[in-house]
Amino acid sequence: MHSGGKSSPQRSSKVKEGFLVTSLLAAALLLLAFHFARAEMRGTEGGAPTAALTPETGWAPDNGSGAPAVNSVLPRFSGEATAVHVTDLHGAGFQAGAQVKLSRAGQPDIEASNENVISANQIICDLDLSEASWGAWDVVVTNADGKSAVLRAAFLVGTCSGQGWGSNTYNQCDVPAGNDFVAVSAGSYHNVALKSDGSLVAWGRNDEGQCDVPAGNDFVAISAGDSFSLSLCRCYLVNASVLSGQGAVNPTSQKVTHGESAQVEITPDAGWHIAGITDNGNPVTVADPSGMTYTLENVTENHLVEVTFELNTYTVACSVSPQGAGSVTGAGTYSHGQQVTLTADASTGYHFVRWTENGVQVSTSNPYQFTATASRTLVAVFEQEVSPQTTFYFAEGYTGKDTFEEYLCLMNPNEEQTTAHITYMFADGSTKEQDLPVGKTSRATVNVKAAVGEDRDVSVKVTSDLPIVCERPMYFNYAGAWTGATWSWGTRREARTATAGRRR
């Protein structure tokens, strides 16, 4: 709402008497303007009208009979235009397929085109006024079931010129040239007119700034007082709601002045995402499914923003290591919060050890159960089953200075002591022998670097008097940039030794 001017200066008693009369007139005009404003700026909560509108002559609201109701129409006048796009025909009980027309006694009806029932409370359409006579027309809405409603004299075709007479002390009767006025309000010594394009013009006494009209063309009602003026701006309703799923929109309803912008915060609940947004039925690009702000620029009509949320889905992928050592069941696609069960089955000669993710152990349970809250890629790690034997070969060992540590680990599962016979084989063809007693049901460890010296490429053959188990772990630190370890079981014949390793 805009106002102009300050308090009235002292005047003669005659002027004071005139002030009382004009103030009463201004109050009456303001009440009339407010009546139109209530129809124009329908305050709603959740899409339902909250203002109690007084029916116009010839219009009856729906009383449960199923008939529609028409409350207001925007714009309310055509000015010089021969075609008008109705941005908000507002009411209640509108049905899909409803038809709109203008009607006036003695004139052929003007059928609207491109009717679009936005909701039960709003219709947009186009009017061809090229053959329409000037004057006030009734707005008629007819539903597909034949029931209709009429808003009398609700739309003005054309414009009017102004004429003034009487006291002209401040040129208040010198109406500006033009014929594009749709409303006028007279104050004590100044007047305000509403033009067909929604802008304002004022003339007459201006010692209090009462004729300094604000800029813009979004005005719908005016009132001129003694030394001040009032106007009401056109505004629209932006409603937002959740169509399905779990999440929130904020605010759910807001009033926006013509041409301004509006924002709707869209926030999914945990485990949900934005699947779709429509604005007056038109799809909107979802920039961020995890949550976003939808901005409506240059609002010139009512908007209904509807949001659909969907439950997140995740992919659980699995592999095995080493390849061929087993299989995994339970991988696939899961919804947020769904229980996942992974089962690792070892191939012959292998047993399951652990589950890893990104190289880090996450569980040793089999089956492994967890709740889906994100996509995951898991590896089922298996180890080869090793049975005691009397001969083992280890190829391509190394005892680098301060960089590699190589060990032999021997286990005697027997109930009596045995002796392991170790042969170290070097790159130049030479060898070195070592005998190592291993107690009954005991383990023994050999530091290969201590046995053969530093910086030696060495392969190893181990034999024993009784069946034993033998493995070779090696630890390395490569130039201080890469540390890790490998381990290998001995093979039963001379060959390159297969190893399994990990960084640490």
CATH of the domain at 466: 2.60.290.11
- Left if phi > 0, otherwise alpha if psi is -120 to 50, otherwise beta: which for 353? alpha
Q: Which domain holds residue 449?
A: 389-503
DSSP 8-class letter at 430: -
> For the chain (length 504 residues), average pLDDT per consecutive 10?
47 40 42 41 34 35 67 80 86 94 94 93 92 89 95 82 84 82 88 85 94 83 91 85 96 89 97 97 96 94 94 97 94 97 94 95 96 97 87 90 88 95 94 95 94 92 94 84 81 54 38
33-45 pLDDT per residue, tens? 444 444 333 333 3
| Burial grade of 387 (CB within 10 A; 0-12, 13-18, 19 or more) | exposed
The per-residue pLDDT for 36 is 41
Phi/psi for 160 (5° steps) reads: -130, 145
- Mark whether 4 and 147 lie in a shared domain: yes
Q: In the listed set 322, 355, 384, which residue is the last one of a domain according to the structure? A: 384
The per-residue pLDDT for 459 is 94
Q: In the listed set 292, 311, 330, which residue is the last one of a domain according to the structure? A: 311
- Mark whether 363 and 339 lie in a shared domain: yes
Sequential DSSP letters for 372-410: -SS-EEEEEEEEE----EEEEEEEEEE--TTTEEEEEEE
The per-residue pLDDT for 340 is 98
User: What is the model's pTM?
Assistant: 0.49
Terminal Cα distance for the chain, rounded:
71
- Mark whether 485 and 463 lie in a shared domain: yes
Q: Do 468 and 408 meet the contact criterion of CB atoms below 8 Å apart?
A: no
- Mark whether 205 and 266 lie in a shared domain: no
- Longest CA pairwise span in the chain (Å): 135
- Mark whether 199 and 86 lie in a shared domain: yes
Sequential DSSP letters for 361-372: EEE--SSEEEE-
Residue 294 and residue 422: Cα distance in Å, rounded? Answer: 75
Residue 187 and residue 195: Cα distance in Å, rounded? Answer: 17
CATH of the domain at 282: 2.60.40
- Mark whether 220 and 257 lie in a shared domain: no
- Left if phi > 0, otherwise alpha if psi is -120 to 50, otherwise beta: which for 449? alpha
- Mark whether 408 and 488 lie in a shared domain: yes
- Mark whether 141 and 33 lie in a shared domain: yes
Q: Do 201 and 176 meet the contact criterion of CB atoms below 8 Å apart?
A: yes
Q: Which residue from 161, 156, 160 is spatially nearest to 136, judged by alpha carbons?
A: 156
Q: In the listed set 328, 352, 384, which residue is the last one of a domain according to the structure? A: 384
- Mark whether 426 and 376 lie in a shared domain: no
Residues 6+ apart with CB under 8 A from 14: none
What torsion, rounded to 10 degrees, do the Cα atoms 82, 33, 303, 146 define?
Answer: -70
Number of Cβ atoms within 10 Å of the Cβ of 309: 22
Collapsing DSSP to helix, strand or coil, 59 comes out as: coil
The per-residue pLDDT for 4 is 52
Residue with tokens 């901005």: 295
- Mark whether 336 and 277 lie in a shared domain: no
Give me the amino acid identity at 295: T
- Mark whether 98 and 224 lie in a shared domain: yes
Total number of domains constituting the chain? 4
- Mark whether 373 and 290 lie in a shared domain: no
Q: Which residue from 169, 201, 206 is spatially nearest to 185, judged by alpha carbons?
A: 201
Q: Do 486 and 503 meet the contact criterion of CB atoms below 8 Å apart?
A: no
